[in-house]
Amino acid sequence: MYGLILAGGSGSRLWPLSRELHPKQLLNIQNSESPLQYAFLRLKECVPPENIISMTGIKHVSGVKYQLSAITDKTVVLSEPISKNTAPAIIIGTKYIADTTKTDPVIIVTPSDQSVKDTASFIDTVKDGEKIAEEGYIVTFGVKPSYPETGYGYINTSDKKIFDGFKVSKFIEKPDSQTAVKYFNDGNYYWNSGIFMFKASVLLDEVKKHAPEIYQLLENFDFTKTSEIPFTEFDKMPSISIDYAIMEKSENIALVELKSDWNDLGSWKSIYDVSKKDENGNVKIGNVLDEGSKNSFVYSSSKLVATIGLEDIVLVETEDAILACKSDRSQDVKKIYDKLKQQNNSAHKIHKTVYRPWGYYTVTGEGKGFLTKMIHVNPGQKLSVQSHNFRSEHWVVLEGKAKVILEGKELILSPGHSVDIPVKAIHSLQNPYKEDLKIVEVQKGNTLIEEDIIRYEDMYGRV
Amino acid sequence: MYGLILAGGSGSRLWPLSRELHPKQLLNIQNSESPLQYAFLRLKECVPPENIISMTGIKHVSGVKYQLSAITDKTVVLSEPISKNTAPAIIIGTKYIADTTKTDPVIIVTPSDQSVKDTASFIDTVKDGEKIAEEGYIVTFGVKPSYPETGYGYINTSDKKIFDGFKVSKFIEKPDSQTAVKYFNDGNYYWNSGIFMFKASVLLDEVKKHAPEIYQLLENFDFTKTSEIPFTEFDKMPSISIDYAIMEKSENIALVELKSDWNDLGSWKSIYDVSKKDENGNVKIGNVLDEGSKNSFVYSSSKLVATIGLEDIVLVETEDAILACKSDRSQDVKKIYDKLKQQNNSAHKIHKTVYRPWGYYTVTGEGKGFLTKMIHVNPGQKLSVQSHNFRSEHWVVLEGKAKVILEGKELILSPGHSVDIPVKAIHSLQNPYKEDLKIVEVQKGNTLIEEDIIRYEDMYGRV
């Protein structure tokens, strides 16, 4: 069997912990594995690790690789140059597997941002699904609704049994609340988990039939020769979900009921639900001091968070933003996220950590004519060769060692060493060593914007 | 008339905004005047500004002077080398005025950490009080209770009228709730505001009678010769409140009812009560984004605070700590404060701003063998001449100009300039200019503690 992990998507609903550049699947909320890592570890129970392929957006490739490398030395990560929803990702992944193996294996596709705790029951369901997939069906995993949720798609099953599953009669988009209650009471409706299984040839045949525009783009593409689809080809793909492109149209779908627990981690309330609570129903993560709160979720990323007498509150502290939310309103986090997007500048002016392919930086101070950053460069990474028209920079090494190229000269700096980068000087910051590199950067100038950057060389294709 | 502002005391109840080194009276919650500044501006309506004396602890002298200099060029600030409660402060202030003026004026004493909005009515009360004080009474300002508060002292009046006031029959310490209800219903009980008026000679006579141990310590002390009481003399003073030392014992007390509003700013709930609210009953200060909250107080010192659906919550964000509290539990902030004091180290390890006589610093980063600070030096101030046994330092100027003395050599650094301070090198950072000075400090070493400092010279007497 092969596995395909969908690790794209941005996380507006777990803001302020998730950001466009640090989405839900990469979050490490409880200081254990991230949802992506859990997804990999779950699949590994039924798919050899070298057969597990992850698909993600170009911005997240380095983050996904970094996290997977912590739990496996066998990992293939394919990147999408732009986000085109689930259909192109799943179809490309399937073609990649078919081309490179020259066989026709069963593939299990799973999102990377869900929580399943009972792995044994999950694997049981996979085994049920495998039999049905072998028979030529596209198998979808259905979750028995526990309440009439309006935020999920539903799947209606027919009476026809196929091994331990049912033939699907209909895929349905998110219902209104009245319809959701009807589905919930009916008994033949399931939540759509987004987990699918199929033989490669079965899916590709359905694509040829129902999504020929995608099929044609890929038909002559050979993944034995390259693992990257050129941007221009990829850009021609329609942006469409697998449900809409294939599942709603195919006659050939079966459902197996997921035997394990399942949570889509779609809101802070969901995170609270899957977290271990203390005797007062509180979840306290990080530096939290409480006096008499109940049923609350309190997350501190660094600062002391003191809580007194809270009830049903979600409180999340990050370096640049704090969220305090009544638990049952946690779906409205998206409204805050959208407001911030509209405001754009004001939300960007404040302190923050920005994730880059080479690591991350945090703005630690801003003022008249200056800006200070803490820069963290992962081992083996380098920032682009660059220059700035409007600012000088001053670097002080804090931890690790820095290789600095300044106007063609190479400098090796240890902790405490510093260097001035004048305006317009061509320079690069590199960490070719095995330890993390941390430096302080002091920018000086009248125009201090990220856009003041001319890139000459970049190992992440950003020139 | 003379005025005496009591500007001592630390602010545990408005934590995390108030700290031991940045107490309530200096807080600038609404980006307008601080309680201290308001106290001065109120007194100025009835006392010439040059006749207003402020008393504060040695740690707060520079903060008090700095704030008063923003609203007046005539200010006298006396300092207490250690805190000895209100009696020594009031008595020393009174003796200072008597000695230096060689007259016997009426003095009004007021705390610096209260809110009074209706200044005109306050002044009216002062005029009523002045007449009674001239008659030889110690006048206390009583606040008509609006509910049976257990957190204040009460004053019981007799039937005897004195001009627009009443002879006091008894001072009473904080009552239990049953007694408080009795006082509230009685009508002859008032809250003790801590505002007093008296002729200097009247108070000093009462001190001679009821607190002879304080009188004797001061008797031969002449404030025309020095404005500073030596530490050894001051240390002999008992630590005692004016209520306990004089008011409860004197036969000679009258009460005038305070005609204005009055709030002791004793909790976040009090701050909420005196703040201007929006149409949903919310007070939002700083960078706050809200979706549907009600009757909540949200304060952001720098980071974005997003709130959704909160009700009756106090949320206060500072650089190193966040408080989230059900409004009616805001008295319990003191419990958190006390817990932190017990823990000591862990509460001190995190990022924070520390106020110093010369300005303040914020720890912006900490890690293996390094610590980074943002240092802010007020105009005309200098840090002590010092050296460190276990760390080197690297300074980068961000704003303003720095005068640096390094091993006897003077350097003038402008924004972008940097300097290395080696281990054990004797150095000093100074800002003799009119603009604020901001620098980044990078400390390097294996033992990075504040205590690693040898001071050779210090303009604030810390050698």
What are the residue ranges in chain A where pLDDT is below 70? 10-11, 21, 31, 344-352
3-state secondary structure of A66: helix
Q: What is the pLDDT of residue A21?
A: 67
Answer yes or no: is the ipTM higher than 0.90. no
Which of A304, A340, A370 is opposite residue B399, by nearest beta carbon? Answer: A370
The pairs formed by B64-67 with CB atoms below 8 angstroms and a separation of 24 or more are B64/B7, B64/B26, B64/B36, B66/B378, B67/B26, B67/B34, B67/B36, B67/B37
A419 touches chain B (CB under 8 A): no
Q: What is the pLDDT of residue B354?
A: 75
Q: Where are the alpha helices (DSSP H) in B229-267?
A: 231-235, 242
Residues from chain B that touch A14, judged by Cβ atoms under 8 A, are none
User: How far is the C-alpha of B427 from the C-alpha of B268, rounded, in Å?
Assistant: 42
Which of A321, A336, A418 is opposite residue B303, by nearest beta carbon? Answer: A321
**Cβ <8 Å between A335 and B398:** no
Residues from chain A that touch B347, judged by Cβ atoms under 8 A, are 304
Instruction: Pull the structure tokens for residue A68.
Output: 């997977």
Task: Report the chain A residue with the minimal C-alpha distance to residue B330.
Answer: A308
A87 in Cβ contact with A213 (< 8 Å): no
**Cβ <8 Å between A394 and B329:** no
B10 in Cβ contact with B115 (< 8 Å): no
Q: What is the pLDDT of residue B10?
A: 67
- Sequence-ordered list of residues with C-beta below 8 angstroms from that of B328, at least 6 positions apart, any chain: A309, B269, B312
B residues 429-448 closer than 8 Å to A (CB): 438, 440, 442, 444
Q: What is the pLDDT of residue A310?
A: 98
As to burial, measured by CB atoms within 10 angstroms (0-12 exposed, 13-18 middle, 19+ buried), residue A348 is middle
Instruction: Pull the structure tokens for residue A306.
Output: 């003191």
Q: What is the pLDDT of residue A350?
A: 42
3-state secondary structure of B397: strand
Instruction: Pull the structure tokens for residue A392.
Output: 């000088």
Which of A303, A315, A399 is opposite residue B320, by nearest beta carbon? Answer: A303
A75 in Cβ contact with A63 (< 8 Å): no
What are the residue ranges in chain B where pLDDT is below 50? 345-351
Rg of chain A taking only CA atoms, in angstroms: 24
**Cβ <8 Å between A287 and B394:** no
Q: What is the pLDDT of residue B344?
A: 62
